[in-house]
Amino acid sequence: SCMHFITADLEMLGVEEFADSQVTLRLRIKTLPIKQWEVAREFRRRVKNRFDELGIEIPFPHRTVYWGTGAENDWFKELVKTSGQHANNG
């Protein structure tokens, strides 16, 4: 636990931003010198675990790639086929 590195109560300043794939919170945790990164990692881990317990999902962007159809993709199909052959031949 990192609790012994924290020197004052956490100050929750509020929600900084709502974005497509994140919610940014502004807070302050005062720590012993050089311990801020360890405390920050532990804080994020605990937030993530609590979100998981509550069923809160962290959004992330999705991208769908369409390769099209027809002859314009023959080069890709051939690349995949030959790459697989090389991988199997070791």
Full pLDDT tens readout for the chain, 90 residues? 789 999 999 999 999 998 888 889 999 999 999 999 999 999 999 999 999 999 988 777 777 776 666 666 677 777 777 776 665 555
Read off the pTM.
0.61
Domain residue extents for the chain:
3-54
Pairing assessment for the beta strands 11-19 and 22-28 based on DSSP bridges: antiparallel
CA distances from 1 to 11, 28, 34, 40 (A): 19, 18, 16, 12
Contact call for residues 8 and 31 (beta carbons, < 8 A): no
Cα dihedral 21/27/31/34 (nearest 10)? 40
